[in-house]
């Protein structure tokens, strides 16, 4: 599948010439003449690169830049302008533009920029395209059936949905499914990656602003909530919304009207909010970092997307589907399926998908074996596991001490063991297919002790008294 480019330019001759050059070079091209339409197309098509003119009728390119980045964070944006000056270039760079082309430019410059822009997107220049936005949510496991049922129940209502789950579990897919199965399906679905927005501009991005409300606000602008009217706004990483913006968002939800920054008159809006978080939002509420009234409003109906390790039944299906997306003729060896089911996947479905993409390249369309996989992720995030564990333990201790207040916390040693035992024993049993004898050897514990721990933590309720020696 070709890499995709969205051209946003109201000068027909330029849009035409660029389209022709890009299509000849093998890109899939979409053209639009307005920024407003570009936002919709960026949300729907998730292009690899966007060639964005600055002077456009309606919303200008530099304003659109931030919004497109929030909607399609993976797209590299090339800003084009005939009226470029330092201020425009600085704004483009500050706004996160990938490149800047001063008009007139020749087509070769545009092609070079396209090659670099599409190479810079996470999939690389020769990789297959990211899955389409209306991708099916795959899953046969009992855990995913619960998710499907909850999506089906809540979709037709207008209730606020809070999707929780670790990174890469498919929260955005769930949000799209809620929208696609609602009566709003023909209206926009606007994903907003709050963490990617300029913190100073979150408010203006969401609610819009009126001319003169701050330096650079040279005309009235609609915010994302207004642009999504009739549809659904997906607030990803909702815990990152600054407190003052939370208060304003609550008012929008309660009154269904939005007050632009610097405005005196509110405008009616009609949006459904679906939000997602990979952190514990109720803990953020307890710590005063998130408003409890907004939390209840967003969390009318929670949907938890389980970690991949809690639905290992789905791994073979996901792996086969991903593999065929990347290499139609490739097949998975049964040995590889076993390895995939046993791996930990801290990056969840996203990591599995990337591993299959890697394996598909190494396996060259034939039988895919374990050696074709990338090395397992040994660290989650930038620190090695050991450092992360010691950091987590330290934070845990600090939290316990803070929670104890004036009272002295006690039995912390046992409390910590109680926290880690289920993960330790559970994971060893999982790796050893429930073999308690072997688990005892790995743990250096007597079999009776292993049995006691299993019972204590409810690790294998069905195996009461039965040593599945396998």
Ligand X SMILES: Nc1ncnc2c1ncn2[C@@H]1O[C@H](COP(=O)(O)OP(=O)(O)OP(=O)(O)O)[C@@H](O)[C@H]1O
Q: Give the interface with ligand X as residue ranges (CB under 6 A).
A: 131, 135, 137-139, 165, 167-173, 236, 278, 318, 349-350, 353
Q: Let me know: does 187 contact 214? Beta carbons within 8 Å.
A: no
- Convert the chain into a string of H (helix), E (strand) and C (coil): CCCEEEEECCCHHHHHHHHHHHHHCCCEEEEECCHHHHHHHHHHHCCCEEEEECCCCCCCHHHHHHHHHHHCCCCEEEEEECCCCHHHHHHHHHCCCCEEEECCCCHHHHHHHHHHHHHHCCCCCCCCCCCCCCCCCCCCCHHHHHHHHHHHHHCCCCCCEEEECCCCCCHHHHHHHHHHCCCCCCCCEEEEEHHHCCHHHHHHHHHEECCCCCCCCCCCEECHHHHCCCCEEEEECHHHCCHHHHHHHHHHHHHCEECCECCCCCEECCCEEEEEECCCHHHHHHCCCCCHHHHHHHCCEEEECCCHHHCHHHHHHHHHHHHHHHCCCCEECHHHHHHHHHCCCCCHHHHHHHHHHHHHHHHCCCEECHHHCCCCCCCCCCCCHHHHHHHHHHHHHHHHHHHHCCCCCCCHHHHHHHHHHHHHHHHHHHHCCCCHHHHHHHHCCCHHHHHHHHHHCCCCHHHCCCCCCC
Residue 98 or 322 with smaller CB distance to ligand X: 322
Minimum Å distance from CB 170 to ligand X?
A: 3
Closest CB to ligand X: residue number: 170
In the complex, what is the shortest distance from the CB of residue 139 to ligand X, in angstroms, rounded to a whole number?
Answer: 5
As measured in angstroms, the least distance from the Cβ of 360 to ligand X is 15
Q: How far is the CB of 168 from ligand X (least distance, A)?
A: 5
Of 344 and 463, which CB lies nearer to ligand X in the complex structure?
344
Question: Closest distance between ligand X and the C-beta of residue 318, in Å?
Answer: 6
184 vs 347: CA distance, rounded Å: 31
Instruction: Pick between residue 205 and residue 351 the one whose CB is nearest to ligand X.
Output: 351
Our CB check for ligand X shows the closer of 316 and 440 to be 316
- Closer Cβ to ligand X, 226 or 275, answer by number: 275
> Of 235 and 349, which CB lies nearer to ligand X in the complex structure?
349
- Closer to ligand X by CB, 12 or 136: give it: 136
- 70 or 261: CB nearest ligand X: 70
Query: What radius of gyration, in Å, describes the C-alpha atoms of the chain?
Result: 25
The partner residues of 102 in beta bridges, in order of sequence, read 81
- Supply the minimum distance, in Å, between the C-beta of residue 44 and ligand X: 15
- Residue 251 contacts residue 260 (beta carbons within 8 Å): no
Closest separation in Å from C-beta 64 to ligand X: 22
Residue 223 CB, nearest approach to ligand X (Å): 22
- If the CB atoms of residues 173 and 258 are measured against ligand X, the closer one turns out to be 173
Q: Closest distance between ligand X and the C-beta of residue 396, in Å?
A: 23
CA distances from 444 to 420, 427, 447, 459 (A): 16, 15, 9, 18
CB of 237 to ligand X, least distance (A): 7
Q: Which is nearer to ligand X, 226 or 348 (CB)?
A: 348
Measured from the CB atom, the residue of 304 and 350 that comes closer to ligand X is 350
């Amino acid at each position: 599948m070709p890499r995709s480019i969205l051209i946003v330019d109201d000068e027909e001759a330029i849009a035409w010439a660029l389209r022709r050059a890009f299509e000849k070079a093998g890109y899939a091209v979409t053209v639009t003449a307005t920024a407003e339409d570009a936002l919709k197309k960026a949300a729907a098509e998730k292009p690899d690169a966007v060639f964005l003119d600055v002077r456009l009728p309606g919303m200008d390119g530099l304003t659109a830049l931030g919004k497109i980045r929030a909607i399609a964070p993976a797209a590299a944006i090339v800003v084009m302008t005939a009226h470029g000056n330092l201020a425009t270039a600085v704004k483009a760079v500050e706004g996160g533009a990938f490149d800047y082309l001063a008009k007139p430019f020749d087509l070769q410059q545009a092609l070079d920029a396209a090659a670099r822009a599409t190479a810079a997107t996470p999939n690389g220049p020769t990789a297959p395209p990211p899955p389409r936005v209306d991708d099916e949510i795959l899953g046969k496991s009992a855990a995913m059936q619960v998710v499907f049922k909850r999506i089906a129940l809540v979709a037709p209502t207008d209730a606020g949905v809070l999707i929780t789950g670790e990174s890469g579990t498919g929260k955005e897919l769930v949000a799209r499914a809620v929208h696609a199965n609602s009566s709003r399906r023909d209206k926009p679905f606007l994903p907003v990656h709050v963490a990617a927005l300029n913190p100073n501009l979150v408010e203006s991005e969401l609610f819009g602003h009126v001319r003169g409300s701050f330096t650079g606000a040279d005309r009235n602008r609609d915010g994302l909530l207004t642009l999504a009217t009739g549809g659904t706004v997906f607030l990803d990483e909702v815990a990152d919304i600054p407190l003052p913006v939370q208060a304003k968002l609550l008012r929008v939800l309660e009154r269904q009207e939005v007050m632009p920054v610097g405005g005196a008159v509110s405008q009616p809006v009609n949006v459904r909010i679906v939000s997602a978080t990979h952190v514990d939002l109720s803990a953020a509420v307890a710590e005063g970092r998130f408003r409890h009234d907004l939390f209840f409003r967003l969390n009318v109906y929670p949907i938890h997307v389980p970690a991949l390790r809690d639905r290992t039944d789905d791994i073979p299906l996901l792996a086969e589907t991903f593999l065929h997306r990347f290499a139609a003729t490739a097949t998975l060896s049964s040995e590889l399926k076993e390895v995939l089911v046993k791996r930990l996947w801290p990056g969840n479905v996203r990591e599995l998908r990337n591993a299959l993409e890697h394996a598909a390249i190494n396996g060259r369309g034939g039988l895919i074996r374990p050696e074709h996989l990338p090395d397992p992720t040994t660290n989650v995030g930038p620190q090695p596991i050991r450092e992360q564990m010691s950091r987590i333990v330290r934070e845990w201790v600090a939290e316990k001490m803070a929670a104890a207040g004036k009272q002295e916390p006690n039995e912390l040693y046992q409390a910590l063991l109680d926290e880690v035992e289920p993960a330790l024993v559970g994971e060893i049993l999982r790796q050893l297919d429930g073999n308690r004898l072997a688990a005892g050897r790995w743990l250096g514990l007597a079999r009776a002790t292993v049995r006691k721990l299993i019972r204590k933590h409810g690790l294998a309720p069905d195996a009461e008294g039965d040593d599945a020696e396998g």
